[in-house]
Amino acid sequence: VQVYGRQSQEALDGAVEAAMDRARELEQIFSLNIDSSEINYVNQNAAKAPVHVSDDFYTVLERSLYFARLTEGAFDPTLGKLIRLWGIGTDDARVPEPEEIAPLTGRCDYEHVLLDEQAHTVFFENDGFSLDFGAIAKGYAADEMKELLQEDYHIDSALLNLGGNIITIGNRPDGKPWTLGIADPSSPQPEEDPAVTLQVTDLTFVTSGDYQRYYEAPDGTRYHHILDGSTGYPADSGLSSVTIITQCSMDADALSTASFVLGQEKAQKLLQSINGVEAVFI
Ligand code: ADP
Ligand code: MG
């Protein structure tokens, strides 16, 4: 988190600390790696009875279900069990047997998550799935950190890099637009070696790619971490990365993952139907 302004050093440090605190608060809600997180509680209980959830949780789940329907499941927040089965990015990563994958494939469980806006509850209509917000929560965190910096700390120039999710506030401190690079996946150091650079003001850049998190099987085959719920296997749409450039980082996060699964042709069609969204496909 880099913030710039005429405020005192102390005030700017306080702003950064507050943004980081907000991120830690959201981690306690959305992390599957924290036993006591809200998402773990919901996953363990929502098939038994409706579970009351926090505003943050409700907001992200509602938007996730919206994008699941819009993309016909290319982005699907109910792939938790399939994602855990593969375990890509964890020490337990492996290539599951077809018999293990089959029951978790082609399910469209996002149609079976019931939200009650009045009661602020979530209910799962069956217990065959769990939620995973890995493809959207970071975007939401970026939006929330930006809003907090602007509203509560009057920051009008900042750069937040959450790893694959970048969000900017205003311009650089010298008044010029920010220059952001999109990694070259074919380079040995993709992040240091941009394929494209772009000038942006007040926008977010979110990339989904196959080159950061993957599991290399003993036979040398690479399996990356974005799964296609219709096949049960890592998406194989001919793309190496998709970067979405727009204003809302949560939307960009969901759309980058969905676009990666859909492939360039279908993704382009989808993105053209949404206002204010640009994309770079590699
Ligand atoms: P990153 O996590 O590298 O920023 P993404 O935003 O594309 O990249 O999210 C990938 C993560 O989202 C995976 O690690 C997994 O937790 C989850 N995920 C994998 N496939 C899907 C999918 N088709 N729809 C929704 N979430 C997914
Ligand atoms: Mg994403």
Query: Residue 160 and residue 145: Cα distance in Å, rounded?
Result: 8
pTM: 0.97
Query: Residue 132 and residue 139: Cα distance in Å, rounded?
Result: 14
Q: What is the pLDDT of residues 129-166, one digit of tens each?
A: 999 999 999 999 999 999 999 999 999 999 999 998 99
Q: What is the pLDDT of residues 208-234, one digit of tens each?
A: 999 888 999 999 999 999 999 999 999
Q: Which residues pair with 212 in a beta bridge?
A: none
Query: Residue 135 and residue 61: Cα distance in Å, rounded?
Result: 12
- Position 154 scores a pLDDT of 97
Q: Report how far apart, in Å, the C-alpha atoms of 161 and of each of 34, 171, 238, 266 are.
A: 22, 15, 27, 28
| Mean pLDDT of the 67-87 span | 98
Query: Residue 99 and residue 108: Cα distance in Å, rounded?
Result: 19
Query: Residue 261 and residue 89: Cα distance in Å, rounded?
Result: 18
- Position 212 scores a pLDDT of 83
- Position 190 scores a pLDDT of 81
CA of 55 from ligand 2 middle (Å) equals: 21
Q: What is the pLDDT of residues 125-137, one digit of tens each?
A: 999 999 999 999 9
CA of 224 from ligand 1 middle (Å) equals: 10
Ligand 1 atom closest to Cα of residue 260: 7
- Position 242 scores a pLDDT of 97
- Position 188 scores a pLDDT of 86
Q: Which residues line ligand 1 (CB under 6 A)?
A: 75-77, 79, 83, 89, 132, 134-135, 138, 164, 208, 212-213, 225-227, 229, 253, 256-257, 261
CA of 167 from ligand 1 middle (Å) equals: 19
Query: Residue 264 and residue 282: Cα distance in Å, rounded?
Result: 9
CA of 137 from ligand 2 middle (Å) equals: 8
> Looking at per-residue confidence, does 187 or 138 come out higher?
138
The yes-or-no verdict on residue 46 having pLDDT over 90 is yes
Please name the residue whose Cα sits nearest to atom 5 of ligand 1. Answer: 135
Range name among 61-75, 106-120, 179-193 with the lowest pLDDT average:
179-193
- Position 42 scores a pLDDT of 98
Residue of 225, 227, 239 best suited for mutating to test ligand 1, as the one with most atoms within 8 Å of CB: 225
* Class of residue 273 by CB neighbours under 10 A (exposed 0-12, middle 13-18, buried 19+): exposed
- Position 192 scores a pLDDT of 85
Q: Note the ligand closest to the C-alpha atom of 163.
A: 1
